[in-house]
């Protein structure tokens, strides 16, 4: 990979890690639009650029979630009983999404789904209101089934699932801090299942496109992961010193611009090329 792109991915990884630590958001929302722009410059076919961007962004979570999970576990904040109930569903949903459905969805449709997800997330960041607290945790089979839904939807977005799992747990009377910590653990299993799925469903590209492991562009994955794991702790430390609410709103505006740009570019590729 050209040194210019190594520097670009290193800077992007550093920014994503810092923002994730500071604002408590998943890195996929930032990574996907940038990767969709950069990967075609490295030889990734434009028609699968959205697929490669989402797959690469999701796979970084396998590694970045480990450090977060260890930190939360050290504080006893993870509800492992919830994790155990959700994991079977997460694995099935993730493998079904990344390993089967993902490859058969048009890149433009994926871009539209991602843009809608960003709009939803941006609205939540602007409002900054916690989900309402409900009753007790549902029956075990319901928790497992909901895990399947989270794994499946996350696979189409390149996200760690916190946008669904945290509100679900808070509504089930799990304190916000424990819900966030538990979501970090769930993100690891979501990423593993979908990552395996992306490699299998995109296996045709492994031998014909340099740097591709299925739909995952592994050179970018290495650089992004290394840098984001370095800067995430710094962002977490500054979270208590900076005006996070204001920063989230600024960040939400940036995400909306990136998502719109990504959608326009994808429309151009799929309709006019």
- In sequence order, what DSSP letters do the residues of 113-162 get, joined into one string? HHHHHHHHHHHHHHH--PPPP-SS---HHHHHHHHHHHHHHHHHHT--SH
d(CA 121, CA 33): 15
Cβ distance 10 to 166 under 8 Å?
no
Whole-prediction pTM value? Answer: 0.88
Cβ distance 224 to 35 under 8 Å?
no
257: which residues sit within 8 A by CB, 6+ positions away? none
Across 54-68, 214-228, 244-258, least confident range: 244-258
Which tens digits make up the pLDDT trace of 107-136? 888 888 888 888 887 787 777 666 666 667
What's the mean pLDDT when you consider all of the chain? 84
List the structure tokens of 89.
């569903």
d(CA 198, CA 100): 9
Alpha-carbon 107 to chain mean position: 17
Look at residue 181 in the predicted model and tell me its pLDDT: 82
Look at residue 273 in the predicted model and tell me its pLDDT: 57
- Say yes or no to pLDDT of 92 above 90: yes
Look at residue 179 in the predicted model and tell me its pLDDT: 84
3-state secondary structure 156-197: HHCCCCHHHHHHHHHHCCCCHHHHHHHHHHHHHHHHHHHHHH
Cβ distance 200 to 213 under 8 Å?
no
Q: Please state the domain extents for the chain.
A: 3-272
On the CB side of 170, CA atoms within 13 Å amount to: 16
Pick from 62, 60, 4: nearest CA to 32? 60
SS3 content of the chain, % helix, strand, coil (to 5): 80, 0, 20
Task: Identify the residue with better confidence: 68 or 106.
Answer: 106
217: β partners: 212
- Say yes or no to pLDDT of 228 above 90: no
What average pLDDT does range 76-98 have in this prediction?
Answer: 93
Stretch (H or E) spanning 41: none
- Say yes or no to pLDDT of 255 above 80: no
Look at residue 93 in the predicted model and tell me its pLDDT: 95
- Name the pairing type of β-strands 212-213 and 216-217: antiparallel
Task: Identify the residue with better confidence: 246 or 211.
Answer: 211
Look at residue 130 in the predicted model and tell me its pLDDT: 65
Pick from 95, 37, 31: nearest CA to 58? 31
If DSSP codes are grouped into helix, strand and coil, which group holds residue 213? Answer: strand
């Amino acid at each position: 990979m050209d040194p210019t792109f190594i520097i670009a991915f290193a800077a992007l990884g550093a920014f994503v890690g810092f923002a994730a630590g500071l604002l408590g958001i998943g890195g996929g929302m930032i990574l996907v639009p940038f990767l969709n722009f950069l990967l075609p410059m490295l030889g990734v076919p434009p028609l699968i650029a959205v697929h490669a961007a989402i797959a690469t962004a999701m796979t970084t979570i396998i590694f970045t979630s480990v450090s977060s999970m260890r930190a939360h576990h050290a504080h006893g904040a993870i509800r492992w009983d919830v994790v155990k109930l959700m994991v079977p569903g997460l694995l099935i949903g993730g493998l079904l999404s990344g390993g089967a459905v993902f490859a058969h969805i048009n890149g433009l449709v994926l871009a539209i789904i991602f843009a809608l997800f960003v709009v939803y997330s941006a609205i939540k960041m602007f409002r900054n209101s916690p989900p309402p607290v409900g009753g007790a945790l549902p029956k075990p089979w319901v928790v497992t089934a909901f895990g399947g839904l989270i794994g499946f939807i996350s696979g189409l977005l390149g996200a760690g699932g916190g946008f669904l799992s945290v509100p679900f747990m808070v509504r089930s009377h799990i304190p916000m801090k424990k819900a966030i910590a538990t979501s970090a653990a769930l993100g690891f299993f979501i990423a593993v299942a979908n990552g395996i799925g992306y490699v299998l469903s995109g296996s045709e590209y492994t031998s014909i496109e340099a740097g591709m492991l299925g739909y995952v562009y592994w050179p970018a994955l290495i650089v992004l992961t290394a840098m984001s794991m370095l800067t995430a702790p710094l962002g977490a430390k500054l979270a208590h010193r900076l005006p996070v609410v204001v920063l989230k709103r600024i960040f939400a505006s940036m995400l909306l611009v990136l998502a719109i740009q990504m959608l326009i570019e994808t429309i151009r590729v799929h309709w006019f090329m």
